[in-house]
Structure 1
């Protein structure tokens, strides 16, 4: 350094630390000329001495003016060296970079100025210091001093120009540096980073797309920045990358899928929207790479289908449909268990649209891979059953579709019916509001006869007689009124009058035992199957305890049903009292049970008054033999008490069973309620009960 002092005049060294910028500038020019002469003479050792002097005594000095002078001097040395500057960069650049962290903002400013001048001279030669320079510029972009920020921006633009034209820049070394700063919240730093990403992506020789997973999350994070400019820049950068993805054959969809899924659940609308758009493109382009991510993608899409933002909802729905279509038609194997786990979780969503789409997914999975799905039924069956209590009719219909797929050919059929009965028993309002919807839909989706047989089999042994009666009444009303059960009604109506109708008779047997829980249901079944004599016997066997308000309400409904097209055949049979005498007696029996003041009494009496003037006591003018197809007429008119068997059905035994069930009901009522003196129900009481 003593040599350096002899090289640079003392006056120049004093001027380079002067407070006045002009004097420092003149001194720097003197240093530049001196170094230029030394370089021309090949005296690089003496140049090194000058650099050491400027670094040790000035750039690293405790006095800020000396530090400023040292920085100006180092820049002047570089300019003086010109084409030979690269030989001394390892000594010139480090002290300048160190000065970026100086506490004095003026020193930081001159550091920017010095490095700018150095970079202009050496251009691509200083790429070896790029990481340190990038780190320093990143911090200076958020400097508290506006003049330092301005100087840093100028230097940043120059560095970008140098990097884009250099073939020595290493993107592999730069990416870790970028990745480590992408989650910084400072808006100035974010703007700085987005600027670098955009610039580097514009260079054809630099494959930024290949490293997109390393900084994609950071870009999405910037979409929620408070600065509109930063949001706009991040959005523009993402759009550019998405276009590149569409045109690139080699994209790592898998690594980015998890990032997009996380951002699709972000609380910022703009971020969620962008993530859904990206997922939509990934689903279309990702192919087999996305198969392991179907469950997480679905988990992100289903909540967005119910998003409060209309655009997010629209794009999420479109993406969901594309993904479901791919799963339904693709030959690829995905993790069914994971997808079902997501679906199970979404079934409890508070949003109806999400629950609906979840059930569409389950139905698709059953169609696509039934055997794989059925393996997981023990995990999700209970959750599906719980949805039957959903507030949405559409959700209930869809879950019935899914349950029908499950229960059609498996032991889950019995479990489904047991669950329905159990929940109807626990929640009478569910039976009242949804019972008909659920049962009718199941009868459409599955075999209606099997549905009714299973209900009947389970209800036959029901110990809660009050519920059993209510449930049977509901099933009976659905049987008599639903268009979906027209074929079943036809089968029952023909069963006792067709010697080959084994299926209909079996169905009658299956229903009868449980139908005995409700006298009116039993009578209705007999009228439907044209077992009129047995209907009359059942009516005659009713005791005082059987004829209560509930019974009369049900009787009122039956009378109204007799006026509907369903029982048109029965009304026409009234025109043939000789052929159907027990029908007439059954209807008169019902009339006798109705209070005269009720509307049902007036309706039924009016109907019976419209008949020809036959009476039950008239003798049949034309006798019938025992070979008559209507032997019951002989029994009625001649009082013959032969064995009550018709077409293989022992109605005498049926009547005994009915009476036994009624006794059990009476005993159960006595055991569970305190009987009060019974008064004949008034018409007002019936009306109140009907309304209830």
Structure 2
């Protein structure tokens, strides 16, 4: 091609008449064909590259759209004149790149000409273009697909369809899947949720589907179906960007494509093309996606996919001896339990259930490290105090499950576990804190009981407005749990005795008094402590067991005079009850104490103290009891409704006493009985009475210092 020919062609290509432009094209085609007839292929290619540089300089690198259009047409004419043969890769690249760059031209006429030239390139060079400039070609097509000029977008679609047909019917050519995946990620990234403004990341309502995205998804689906192209092996590379795209409904192409990927990965696992390492990689990606995206539909699919992989991962990993990434997956699931989206919630619960099933099936095969990781995950989650009620309930279920699976593991982490669970006692929902108590009682053995009680009372002191009214319910449920674990049935006093050993160590004596009031109420009124009440009602004189329980409970009850008085009446310790009543009469009673006295008088009318009312039939045999009741009557304000009730009870006592004297005669009390009572007073009651007075002094001193 001589210089004067180029000049002539330039005049034709830039002419305003279509017939002259066509004449220039035919001239370029003829000259190109002549080159390959007159010269060896290598020399012809060299000459064409020189002409290509001149065309780029004269036509393409100018601000004139007419000249740029002429340059693209000239390149297309040269390509059209090329004979069908193999060309050097660099030759192909140098002719393709200027054409592909023109897809981004600002003039629609130039862009249309570029798509026409690309069509000619693929027709002439076939798969050579894909082998050399595959990524550049697809980048150019992605620009044209979304072109506002419908001619350019339609031609790009046509080229894309032609490529699919040629690839599907060509067994000798295979795509460079690595380059294809790179193109996918780079093209879709601007359309991902990360590129959206923060206010649009939580919803897909304002999202408008992109033609480019749909086109890329179509290509991914096509390549997944192509024989011999195992695109699924590259799933970890492009799965994150797919999930980052906004997804509106299950009818979206993206949803269907992701389901296809899920199915193909399952097949790859079945045929052994993917390993347990692949499962772990995909699980990591899914977990990361759940944390980074906000679309419920995408999260739901992630959890459904996780559910598929849970059991497969367990089977693929060393005969079930490991549970890979299940702690991270569990944390992810627990944080999404209670989602407002019902279908997402269902998917999350399936993952949680499947994980539990795997742990149960693994049994002894599950390694201690794996279960330990899960336990640490759950403990940390509860310890943060974050999450909804459903999250906390699911975490507590896991604590219970792990305790059944490995008691020693849970016991070794008792301090961390109990500390985490204790934070849930203040939850506003009854089902949460009752489940927390159940879990605490299950994981607590005898050596950890004191530590647990210390933690409970610390929580009550930190949240008195919430937990102090709830303390009675906590104690009742704990008693039920401990009694259910007591096979012999002889440890009904364990809980209250342990509490009474804990209370003296608490510095806030005012708080201790409040706790003792609660303890006394649950002991006297709740059905959960009925077994212990029956034991205590036998009386301290009946057995060594009752005596020991009474003494240990008395250490705690001594911080509240009315409570200790009630305990003495319950255990038939009438001589001590009289001493306490006399002590209360010598001090100035607070309104709170008077209220407690009124409450005790009211409880005397209940079924718990029916044996006391019957004992009043023989007042001569229980004078300390009668004196105690008269003392209570004198402590009560006469305006109290209980005053009249108790007064009516006691006003018949003189008559009953007189009747007793007339029937029995002047017989003095048995000497042996007095000796037994004196011994009981010296060994049990008197030391406890001194302890009671000492505790009252501590309480008084604390209240005085607190009021300063």
TM-score (norm 2): 0.82
Q: 2:118 aligns with which of 93, 107, 115?
A: 115
- 2:261 maps to 241
Asked if the contact 1:127–1:163 (Cα under 8 Å) also holds between the matched residues in 2, the reply is no
Deviates more, 1:591-600 or 1:166-175: 166-175
* Aligned-pair CA distance for 1:569: 3.3
1:402 aligns with: 439
Matched, 1:524 2:577: no
Post-superposition offset of 1:427: 4.3
- Name the CA distance, whole Å, in 2 between partners of 1:163 and 1:426: 71
Secondary structure of 1:396 counterpart = helix
User: Is this contact kept in 2: 1:516–1:658, CA < 8 A?
Assistant: yes
1:31–1:652: structure 2 CA closer, same or farther, 3 Å change rule? closer
Corresponding position of 2:504: 460
User: Residues 415-430 of structure 1: matches in 2 within 5 Å?
Assistant: 415-430=451-466
1:629-682 Cα distance to aligned partner (Å, 9 max, x none): x955xx5xxxxx9862249953333334334444554555566559xxxxxxxx
Mark the CA change 1:541 to 1:433 in structure 2 (over 3 Å): closer, same or farther.
Answer: closer
Question: How far 1:321 sits from its partner (Å)?
Answer: 2.4
Distance, in Å, in 2 between the alignment partners of 1:304 and 1:20 is 68
| 1:264 matches 2:290 | yes
Tell me the CA shift for residue 32 of structure 1: 4.5
What CA distance in whole angstroms lies between the structure 2 residues aligned with 1:534 and 1:238?
A: 79
Q: Secondary structure at the match of 2:428?
A: coil
Count matched residues. 656
Is 2:500–2:553's contact at 8 Å kept on the other side of the alignment? yes
Q: Deviations over 1:22-70 (max 9, x none)?
A: 4434554455466567767886467536634652333553366565455
What is the CA–CA distance in structure 2 between the aligned matches of 1:206 and 1:181, rounded to whole Å?
Answer: 21
| 1:142-164, Cα deviation, whole Å (9 max, x unpaired) | 45655433333322222233233
Distance in 1 of aligned mates of 2:115 and 2:220: 22
Cα distance, 1:394 vs. partner? 1.9
The Cα offsets for residues 131-179 of structure 1, whole Å up to 9 and x where unpaired, read as 3322332344445655433333322222233233333223244333433
The Cα of 1:598 is off from its aligned counterpart by 1.0
> Which stretch of the first structure deviates more once superposed, 53-62 or 238-247?
53-62
Shift of 1:219: 0.6
Q: CA deviation at 1:237?
A: 0.8
**Which residue of the partner structure matches residue 522 of structure 2?**
478
Within the alignment, does 1:502 sit opposite 2:544 as a pair?
Answer: yes
Cross-structure match for 1:573: 615
Q: Which residue of 338, 347, 350 maps to 1:306?
A: 338
Structure 1 residues 201, 610: closer, same or farther in 2, change over 3 A?
farther
State the distance in 1 between where 2:6 and 2:686 align.
Answer: 136
Equivalent residue for 1:138, pick from 124, 137, 142: 142
Partner of residue 488, structure 1:
532
Matched, 1:179 2:185: yes
Choose the corresponding residue for 1:206, options 191, 204, 229: 229
For 1:654 and 1:451, the matched residues in 2 are separated by 20
Q: Which structure 1 segments of 5+ residues have no match?
A: 636-640, 675-692
2:300 is aligned, of 273, 296, 316, to: 273
Distance 1:617 1:585 in 2: 18
- What is the CA-CA distance between 1:418 and the residue it aligns to? 2.0
| CA drift at 1:431 | 4.8
Structure 1 residues 288-347: Cα deviation after superposition (integer angstroms, max 9, x where no partner): 669332232223222321323233223222322222332344233316246524542345
Change (3 A) 1:61 1:141: farther
Aligned partners of 1:496 and 1:530 also within 8 Å: yes
Once residues 564 and 602 of structure 1 are traced to their aligned partners in structure 2, the CA distance between those partners, rounded to angstroms, is 16
Q: Is the Cα–Cα contact under 8 Å of residues 51 and 92 in structure 1 kept in the other structure?
A: no
Aligned to 2:475: 439
Match of 2:53 in 1: 56
CA pair 57-9 structure 1, distance change in 2 beyond 3 A? closer
Q: After the TM superposition, which of the residue ranges 356-365 and 73-82 deviates more from structure 2?
A: 73-82
Q: Tell me the distance in 2 between the aligned counterparts of 1:206 and 1:669.
A: 83
Question: Could you tell me which residue of structure 2 aligns to residue 681 of structure 1?
Answer: none
Match in the other structure for 1:657: 691
Alignment-derived partner of residue 206 in structure 2: none
Q: Secondary structure at the match of 2:324?
A: helix
Q: 1:619 to 1:179 in 2, by over 3 A?
A: same
**Which secondary structure state, in structure 1, belongs to the residue aligned with residue 493 of structure 2?**
helix
Look up the match of 2:200. Answer: none
- Report the counterpart of residue 202 of structure 2 in structure 1: none
Distance in 2, matches of 1:463 and 1:115, equals 87
**Residues 279-318 of structure 1: matches in 2 within 5 Å?**
279-287=306-314, 291-318=323-350
Q: Distance in 1 between matches of 2:241 and 2:399?
A: 35
Query: What is the rounded CA distance, in whole Å, between the counterparts of 1:317 and 1:401 in structure 2?
Result: 22
1:35-114 residue pairs with structure 2 within 5 A?
44=41, 47-48=44-45, 51-52=48-49, 54-62=51-59, 68-69=69-70, 71-82=72-83, 84-87=84-87, 90-92=90-92, 94-102=94-102, 103=105, 105=107, 106-114=109-117
Deviations 1:571-616, CA, capped at 9 Å, x for gaps: 3333444554543443333223222221111222344467794127
Superposed CA deviations along residues 56-85 of structure 1, whole A, max 9, x for unmatched, are 333553366565455445545555555x33
Distance 1:609 1:56, change over 3 A: same
In structure 2, the partner of 1:688 is none
Q: Distance in 2 between matches of 1:17 and 1:53?
A: 21
2:407 maps to 1:370: yes
**1:416-459, CA deviations, whole angstroms, 9 ceiling, x for partnerless residues?**
22233334345442453211011112222236522211221232
Over the aligned positions, Cα root-mean-square deviation in angstroms equals: 3.7
TM-score (norm 1): 0.83
Identify the residue that residue 205 of structure 2 maps to in structure 1: none
**Counterpart contact for 2:99–2:117, Cα < 8 Å:** no
- Partners in 1 of 2:15 and 2:51 — Cα distance? 14
The question of 1:24 aligning with 2:21 is answered: yes
Matched position secondary structure for 1:503: helix
Structure 1 contact 520–555 (Cα < 8 Å) conserved: yes
Q: Distance in 2 between matches of 1:48 and 1:422?
A: 88
